């Protein structure tokens, strides 16, 4: 998954992009980058690691001009290397193109092969690079028309921010998998994966970029629009509401906080835990769901697990070894709260079950008498091909075990997952118009022909 941010028409475009990326850090922690354009000259800064560590006042000085795009990345397609850090930047006979992409293209392998047959030389293993090559070859005149031309035949999930010359172009795939919101900051146009990035720069939300829509902001502030064929019904990723986005954000036009609380309330209705003493969350991503569970069940909410904020998202580590090491240092249990109690532990999802098993052991070691786990998303039974880094089927605990077996393996007394219908009813603007393939197996497109390429690059 990735976070993207772009701005046009502001003298401090790069500095604001830097700020915006801080708010999108949760969407990817492997690498970050910013490209800024001034008077036809383009400058780029890319680094492995966190925005706060890698961009200094000194390095930011090289980036100036009224147009900028930025990106935070964790790899779902292509390996975790600096060559794959975005924004991708190419200079070619027609000028320059800088591209930031959130999502996964499902036919990138075929498109790449055909471009290579025609002589293209790729400099990364990212799926996104095929769009850059297509753009460089496009014949259309205007930047937005070039992008529409380049995207023909490209399948899968993409929210894109592209600088072509001095024009900022935003686009969302026809099924609208990934979010992209447009805002205004005085005269400037701002685009971001989530509205929390608009908040941090002081911009106001104008509207969502619609599925299948391309918007181009010219250097004079004019906005041009192209509507590519939109699908009859979108397939927005429901996991953005469940886990991925920040609770202070609005995505797909709805509040993430409201969504998670409603999920928690529904979960409490579907799987109550009558004899329990209290409920607690696995911080931070399930805080709002645990609040919802507490509201609906009447059980008090306790802060029984404390998270070390200097450790990032455990899952967003490309290797299992990295994940294991981080889990150990990420959480601590509060003995004074847990000792002797029957407790409800709410989490938003169980993927491999590794973190969960470790957490349950921690909670028991702190003295909990009974542990009842409640999960605010249904069992994950299949991989995501559209941008969330869910692993292959073999590693997904719910793809291979029943709920009873999972309960035994993670060491809880009872385990309850929200139902698919319950989840889709609870999220804003549900129940239709969402992609829930990882839970239901209903993939909206044919899966990629070479799926392992998506993750290994």
CB of 389 to ligand AMP, least distance (A): 5
CB of 152 to ligand AMP, least distance (A): 30
What is the C-alpha to C-alpha distance for residues 456 and 128, in angstroms, rounded to an integer? Answer: 14
45 touches ligand AMP by CB under 6 A: no
Pairing of strands 236-237, 223-227: unpaired
CB of 39 to ligand AMP, least distance (A): 40
351 touches ligand AMP by CB under 6 A: yes
CB of 439 to ligand AMP, least distance (A): 12
Please provide the distance, in angstroms rounded to a whole number, between the alpha carbons at the two ends of the chain. Answer: 15
103 touches ligand AMP by CB under 6 A: no
266 touches ligand AMP by CB under 6 A: no
Beta strands across the sheet bearing 370-375? 301-302, 278-281, 342-347, 370-375, 414-417
* Window of 12-20, 147-155, 352-360, 444-452 that interacts with ligand AMP by CB under 6 A: 352-360
240 touches ligand AMP by CB under 6 A: no
Sign of the CA dihedral with 312 first, then 314, 318, and 322 last: positive
313 touches ligand AMP by CB under 6 A: yes
Backbone torsions φ then ψ of 202, nearest 5 degrees:
85, 20
Please name which of 308, 182, 180, 307 lies closest in space to residue 245, comparing C-alpha atoms.
180
Map residue 330 onto helix, strand or coil.
Answer: helix
**Residue in 2, 384, 435, 438 annotated catalytic:** 2
Q: Which CB, 67 or 279, lies closer to ligand AMP? A: 279
Q: Tell which one of 8, 157, 389, 417 touches ligand AMP (CB under 6 A).
A: 389
Token pair, residue 362, equals 């921690």
Backbone torsions φ then ψ of 17, nearest 5 degrees:
-65, -40
Q: Tell which one of 22, 55, 189, 243 touches ligand AMP (CB under 6 A).
A: 243
CB of 282 to ligand AMP, least distance (A): 5
Geometric angle at alpha carbon 290, from 103 and 401, rounded to 5°:
65
What is the C-alpha to C-alpha distance for residues 64 and 35, in angstroms, rounded to an integer? Answer: 9
Q: Tell which one of 262, 316, 333, 362 touches ligand AMP (CB under 6 A).
A: 316
Q: Which CB, 212 or 383, lies closer to ligand AMP? A: 383
What is the C-alpha to C-alpha distance for residues 288 and 262, in angstroms, rounded to an integer? Answer: 9
Token pair, residue 282, equals 């696995």
Q: Which CB, 31 or 349, lies closer to ligand AMP? A: 349
Burial pattern 140-156, b for ≥16 Cβ within 10 A else e, equals: eeebbbbbbebbeebbb
What is the C-alpha to C-alpha distance for residues 452 and 434, in angstroms, rounded to an integer? Answer: 24
* Window of 26-34, 354-362, 415-423, 436-444 that interacts with ligand AMP by CB under 6 A: 354-362
315 touches ligand AMP by CB under 6 A: yes
Q: Which CB, 36 or 279, lies closer to ligand AMP? A: 279
Whether 2 sits among the annotated catalytic residues: the reply is yes
Token pair, residue 350, equals 């169980």
281 touches ligand AMP by CB under 6 A: no
CB of 200 to ligand AMP, least distance (A): 22
Q: Which CB, 124 or 349, lies closer to ligand AMP? A: 349
Q: Tell which one of 12, 30, 194, 347 touches ligand AMP (CB under 6 A).
A: 347
In the block, which residue shows the tokens 């023909």? 152
DSSP code at position 283:
T
Residues near 315 by beta carbon (within 8 Å), at least 6 away in sequence? 323, 351, 355, 389
208 touches ligand AMP by CB under 6 A: no
The site for ligand AMP (CB under 6 A) is made up of: 243, 282, 285, 313, 315-316, 347-356, 388-389
Active site residues: 2
């Amino acid at each position: 998954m990735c976070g993207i941010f772009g701005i046009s028409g502001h003298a401090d475009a790069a500095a604001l992009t830097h700020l915006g990326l801080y708010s999108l850090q949760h969407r990817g922690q492997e690498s970050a980058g910013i490209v800024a354009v001034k008077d036809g000259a383009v400058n780029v800064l890319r680094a492995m690691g966190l925005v706060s560590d890698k961009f200094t006042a000194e390095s930011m000085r090289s980036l100036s001009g009224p147009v900028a795009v930025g990106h935070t990345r964790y790899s779902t397609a292509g390996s975790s290397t600096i060559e794959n850090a975005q924004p991708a930047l190419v200079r070619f006979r027609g000028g320059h193109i800088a591209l930031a992409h959130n999502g996964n293209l499902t036919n990138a392998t075929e498109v790449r092969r055909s471009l290579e047959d025609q002589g293209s030389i790729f400099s990364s293993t990212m799926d996104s690079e095929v769009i850059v090559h297509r753009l460089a070859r496009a014949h259309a005149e205007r930047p937005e028309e070039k992008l529409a031309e380049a995207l023909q035949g490209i399948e899968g999930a993409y929210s894109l921010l592209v600088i072509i010359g001095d024009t900022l172009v935003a686009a969302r795939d026809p099924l609208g998998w990934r979010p992209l919101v447009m805002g205004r900051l005085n005269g400037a146009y701002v685009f971001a994966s989530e509205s929390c990035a608009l908040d941090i720069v002081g911009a106001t939300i104008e509207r969502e970029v619609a599925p299948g829509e391309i918007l181009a902001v010219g250097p004079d502030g004019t906005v041009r629009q192209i509507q590519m064929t939109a699908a009859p019904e979108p397939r927005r990723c429901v996991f953005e509401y469940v886990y991925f986005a920040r609770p202070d954000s609005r995505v797909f036009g709805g509040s993430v906080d409201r969504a998670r609380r409603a999920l928690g309330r529904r979960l409490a209705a579907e799987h109550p835990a009558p004899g329990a003493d209290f409920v607690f969350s696995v911080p931070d991503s399930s805080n709002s769901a645990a609040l919802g569970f507490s509201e609906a069940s009447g059980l008090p909410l306790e802060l029984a697990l404390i998270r070390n904020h200097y450790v990032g998202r455990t899952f967003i580590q490309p290797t299992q070894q990295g994940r294991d090491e981080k889990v150990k240092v990420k959480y601590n249990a509060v003995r004074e709260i847990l000792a002797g109690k029957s407790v409800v532990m709410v989490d938003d999802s169980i993927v491999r079950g590794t973190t969960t098993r470790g957490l349950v052991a921690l909670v028991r070691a702190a003295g909990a008498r009974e542990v009842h786990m409640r999960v605010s998303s249904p069992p994950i039974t299949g991989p995501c091909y559209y941008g969330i880094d869910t692993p292959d089927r073999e590693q997904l605990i719910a793809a291979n075990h029943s709920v009873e077996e999972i309960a035994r393996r993670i060491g809880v007394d009872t385990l309850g997952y929200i139902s698919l219908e319950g989840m889709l009813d609870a999220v804003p603007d549900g129940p239709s118009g969402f992609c829930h393939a990882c839970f239901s197996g209903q993939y909206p497109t044919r899966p990629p022909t070479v799926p392992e390429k998506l993750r290994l690059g």
